[in-house]
Amino acid sequence: MIQVQTRFLGVVECPEESVITFPAAIPPFPDQMYVVIAKEGSPYFFLQSVTTPDLCFITLPVQTLDPNYRLALEPRDVEMLGLPSPESQRDLTRLTILTIPERGAMTANLAAPIIINPSRQVGVQAVRSDGVYSHAHPIGAGVEG
């Protein structure tokens, strides 16, 4: 087990095999490894750096927000995740990073979801260039009018 100093939950013990590497980083933060910690009694997950307590994103599973979300991985993402083929996406963990402003609606980054291959504990931030989803998809006020 490793001790992770977290942003919100104090020190959390995590199995070493739960640590996720991001070969292309979550920009602009190079050389960080992360763990995913569920926020109890809620749909949220913390994407917490194991070495930098303040580097912690609040995320939601993409399917919680949009059950019909269509994933689009670039060839370099498929390669980094170590997928046997571009189609083998069924078991991937998909998280969307939330932005919570002082005022106004929370937003989710559906244009660049965090994709993790749990069998290899490798992740990427899969940046879409097709413009289908927004970097700031509003949650709550304003959705669907």
Q: Does 142 bind other proteins (CB under 8 A)?
A: no
- Residue 115 interacts with other proteins (CB under 8 A)? no
Q: Which residues contact 67 (CB under 8 A, 6 or more apart)?
A: none
Q: Determine which residue in the list 43, 82, 86, 118 makes contact with other proteins, applying CB under 8 A.
A: 43
Residues paired with residue 124 on neighbouring β-strands, in sequence order: 115
- Give me the least distance between CB of 15 and other proteins, in Å please: 25
User: Which SS3 state, helix, strand or coil, does residue 56 take?
Assistant: strand
Window of 9-17, 38-46, 80-88, 116-124 that interacts with other proteins by CB under 8 A: 38-46
Q: Dihedral of the CA atoms 77, 83, 86, 91 (nearest 10)?
A: -100
CA distance 19 to 36: 8
Residue 131 CA, chain-centre distance (Å), reads 19
Please provide the size of the chain in residues.
145
Q: Applying CB under 8 A, which of residues 58, 62, 95, 115 lies at the interface with other proteins?
A: 58
Say whether 131 sits in a helix, a strand or coil: coil
Calpha distance 75→23 (Å, rounded): 15
Residue from 10, 28, 84, 145 touching other proteins (CB under 8 A): that is 28
* Contact between 65 and other proteins per CB under 8 A: yes
CB-nearer residue toward other proteins: 13 or 130: 130
Interaction of residue 98 with other proteins, rule CB under 8 A: yes
Residues that bind other proteins (CB under 8 A): 26-29, 42-44, 54-58, 60, 64-65, 67, 97-102, 106, 109, 111-112, 125, 127, 129, 135-136, 139-140, 143
